[in-house]
């Protein structure tokens, strides 16, 4: 694999493998470009718990100071918490040092504008031009600003926004038995505080030590959550939650320890919001059609966007959506708190739904229409992407085609979506249908072209 493939500049920022690819020098230069772009003023800086985090934090701090920015360090915090803090404190922008769901040898800079949002396509293009031209602002001695710290208020600000949208007293009265796997990530301490102290749950938690390495695969997928299932059986937990290292993605387990499909998690959150505040919904192209069914129950439209939080948020703002997200990766985006993927709002929605209805998680999920999904990935050679997409389109002549993000083919029986990954040098393949046999047929037809 080429060296270029190990460093990715994409929809959310810059990421790569620590060492020969994402280096302190590169992080410093990119941060200086960022500081030059947002201008002199406060920039918020936080990180997750990766071993390389402190090293990259020092490099980013140097780059921001060199551009004349005042750096506000907020420490180890979930990405959505950092985004809320940027928005509430009217900073020039923010950087979260985290590779999210990627393995521990990766790290990344997630970049936020003054609203605490990922850069849109125009902002990204301008920033990258500035970076590649190396036309950075060089602050003179008298312009060098301070490094400030605020390790306390960011968590309170985020939690306060979440609590405005659920019945806290009803949740506390139930004292739900909750199991948590925080993967020793950025949400470890905040999640324990949120569930136990704020929402009054009887909490049973594993992997909540931010000093320790990730004990499982970073992405909270069913096959990596065996420890959470075991914990739920031992404690008779009524619901289980698992996060990724930066706390924006959420996996949910029912009372039997069965991990819900990510699309079902988003669909339940959508139903919670639309039952109180009907309005448009925006999801990415890979998200299940179950969202369309749930929205139809409430008479609400659904709009699709290319994969990537920034793309979904941009479309949500344009359509004035009341909720959105990426079911394909466990991301719930609720603008009532912040335009970002937020596992804390997701946890609160589920506990609120259980408290208000008296239903168990399996009963809530059983109310959703049934779809079958298949997801995978494959490597591909440069220069082959165009012919692959052309062959797929020809195979399904007469189907509805969407080319806004790779290729999505929609037939009456289901759909296939093939696209280049935003974070890895791979093709991502997704298929969905109303029967297991049909989804397998659709999925295998895509693989044959690869």
Number of C-beta neighbours around residue 54 at 10 A: 12
442 to each of 214, 395, 448, how far by Cα in Å? 35, 11, 10
Contact call for residues 330 and 265 (beta carbons, < 8 A): yes
Tell me how far apart the alpha carbons of residues 77 and 41 are, in angstroms, rounded to a whole number. 22
Catalytic residues: 100
Spell out a b/e string for 276-297, using b for 16 or more CB atoms within 10 Å of the CB, else e.
Answer: eeeebbbbbbbbbbbbbebbee
Q: How far apart are the first and last CA of the chain?
A: 18
Q: Is there a contact between 98 and 75 (Cβ–Cβ < 8 Å)?
A: no
3-state helix, strand, coil in the chain (%, to 5): 40, 25, 35
Cα distance between residue 408 and residue 406, in whole Å: 7
Cα separation of 170 and 55, whole Å? Answer: 44
Cα angle, residue 343 at apex, residues 340 and 345 outer, rounded to 5°:
80
Q: How far is CA 290 from the centre of its chain?
A: 20
For residue 413, count CB atoms less than 10 angstroms from its CB and return exposed for 0-12, middle for 13-18, buried for 19 or more. Answer: middle
Burial label for 235, CB within 10 Å (0-12, 13-18, 19+), is: middle
């Amino acid at each position: 694999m080429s060296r270029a493939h190990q460093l990715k500049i994409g929809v959310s920022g810059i990421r790569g493998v620590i060492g020969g690819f994402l280096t302190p020098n590169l992080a410093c230069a990119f941060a200086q470009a960022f500081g030059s772009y947002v201008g002199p003023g406060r920039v918020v800086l936080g990180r997750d718990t990766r071993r390389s985090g402190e090293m990259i934090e020092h490099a980013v701090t140097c780059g921001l100071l060199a551009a004349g920015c005042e750096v506000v360090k907020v420490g180890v915090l979930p990405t959505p918490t950092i985004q809320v803090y940027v928005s509430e404190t009217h900073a020039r922008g923010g950087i979260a040092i985290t590779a999210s769901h990627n393995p521990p040898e990766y790290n990344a800079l997630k970049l936020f504008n003054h609203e605490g949002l990922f850069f849109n396509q125009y902002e990204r293009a301008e920033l990258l031009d500035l970076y590649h031209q190396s036309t950075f602002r060089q602050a003179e001695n008298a312009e060098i600003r301070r490094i400030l710290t605020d390790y306390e208020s960011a968590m309170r600000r985020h939690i306060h926004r979440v609590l405005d949208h659920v019945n806290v007293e009803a949740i506390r009265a139930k004292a739900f038995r909750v199991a948590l796997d925080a993967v020793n990530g950025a949400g470890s301490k905040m999640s324990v505080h949120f569930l136990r102290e704020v929402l009054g749950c009887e909490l049973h938690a594993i992997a909540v030590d931010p000093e320790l390495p990730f004990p499982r695969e970073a992405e909270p997928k069913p096959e990596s959550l065996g420890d959470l299932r075991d914990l739920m059986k031992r404690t008779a937990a009524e619901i289980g939650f698992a996060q990724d290292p930066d706390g924006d993605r959420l996996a949910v387990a029912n009372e039997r320890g069965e991990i819900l499909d990510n699309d079902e998690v988003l669909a339940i959150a959508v139903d919670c919001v639309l039952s109180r505040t009907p309005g448009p919904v925006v999801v990415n192209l890979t998200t299940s059609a179950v969202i369309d069914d749930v929205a139809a129950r409430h008479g609400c439209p659904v709009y699709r966007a290319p994969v990537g939080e920034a793309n979904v948020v941009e479309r949500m703002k344009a359509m004035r959506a009341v909720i959105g997200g990426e079911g394909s990766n466990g991301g719930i985006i609720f603008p009532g708190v912040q335009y970002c993927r937020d596992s804390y709002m997701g946890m609160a929605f589920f506990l609120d739904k259980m408290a208000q209805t008296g239903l168990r998680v399996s009963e809530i999920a059983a109310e959703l229409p049934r779809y079958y999904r298949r997801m995978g990935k494959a490597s591909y050679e440069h220069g082959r992407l165009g012919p692959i997409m052309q062959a797929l389109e020809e195979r399904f002549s007469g189907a509805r085609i969407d080319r806004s993000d790779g290729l999505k083919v929609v037939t009456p029986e289901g759909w296939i979506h093939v696209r280049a990954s935003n974070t890895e040098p791979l093709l991502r393949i997704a298929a969905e249908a109303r029967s297991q046999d049909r989804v397998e047929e659709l999925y295998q037809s895509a693989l044959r072209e690869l």
